[in-house]
Structure 1
Amino acid sequence: MKTSAVNLEVMKEFGVAGFEAARSLGELNLRTWEKLVEKQTETFGLFVDAGIEMVKATTEVKEAKELVNAEMAVAKQFGENLVVKGREALQVTNDARDDYRSWAEQGVEIFTKQVNKSVKAA
């Protein structure tokens, strides 16, 4: 039978392990959030840049055909850049998925070790 000191030590170890897991999850959440906000900001920048180019084209071009061609070029470039940013955001989410999976697997491993250690102490 375990003594009170052993029981308290086991409880302490579970508490510390739980706190560390929560802390690392918080850090993972923050890193993921920062990366996603960065991609969102970059994507918003694409909209702004395309808008500026459209305004520039409408003020500089004299003929309607040239204006249409300039608008089509801006739209094409914007679409291509948007696809690139979408792929980058998808990569961020894939990386986050892998990080969360790794975090969960590590948590299960630590918990299993703690339980085994606790059972052996009994």
Structure 2
Amino acid sequence: MKTSTVNLEILKEFGVAGFEAARNLGELNLRTWEKLVEKQTETFGLFIDAGIEMVKATTELKDVKELVNVEMEVAKQFGEILVTKGRETLQVTTDARDDYRSWVEQGVEVFTQQVEKSAKAA
């Protein structure tokens, strides 16, 4: 076993590496959360827009057949856009999965290097 100075230096390096990993994880979580909230907000906006169009059609159109046609068109457009937003959200989660995997792999690599360095010092 080396001197206490060497042991303290090893502990310091582990601490710094751990803090850096935790900071990176926090940043990754924040970026992912922001992207998901953005997609959720966009989707909520779609619900609002479709609702406004339905109310507008209900108040402006007097012919039932025309009203049904407009409502069907609004529902169709809403569904198509909703599917697109779903795909975009799926891509966000896929990207996040890849980012988390990369973070874990990097953490394992750093930890392995620290352990090897500590073993050599001991």
Structure 1 SS opposite 2:66:
helix
Match of 1:55 in 2: 55
Match of 1:71 in 2: 71
Structure 2 SS opposite 1:62:
coil
Match of 1:31 in 2: 31
CA deviations over 1:31-85 (Å, ceiling 9, x no partner): 0000000000000000000001101111221210000000000000000011011
Deviation at 1:111, TM superposition (A): 0.3
- Of stretches 15-24 and 58-67 in structure 1, the one that deviates more from structure 2 is 58-67
Aligned residues: 122
- Of stretches 12-21 and 51-60 in structure 1, the one that deviates more from structure 2 is 51-60
Paired amino acid for 1:33: W
Paired amino acid for 1:16: V
Instruction: Map 1:1-122; keep pairs closer than 5 Å.
Output: 1-122=1-122
Runs of 4+ in structure 1 off by over 2 angstroms are: none
Structure 2 SS opposite 1:112:
helix
- Of stretches 36-45 and 53-62 in structure 1, the one that deviates more from structure 2 is 53-62
TM-score w.r.t. length of structure 1: 0.98
Structure 1 SS opposite 2:87:
helix
* % identity of equivalent residues: 84
In 1, distance between residues paired with 2:17 and 2:97? 22
Structure 2 SS opposite 1:20:
helix
Paired amino acid for 1:101: R
Cα RMSD (Å) of the superposition?
0.6
Structure 1 SS opposite 2:2:
coil
TM-score w.r.t. length of structure 2: 0.98
In structure 1, stretches of 5+ residues that fail to align are none
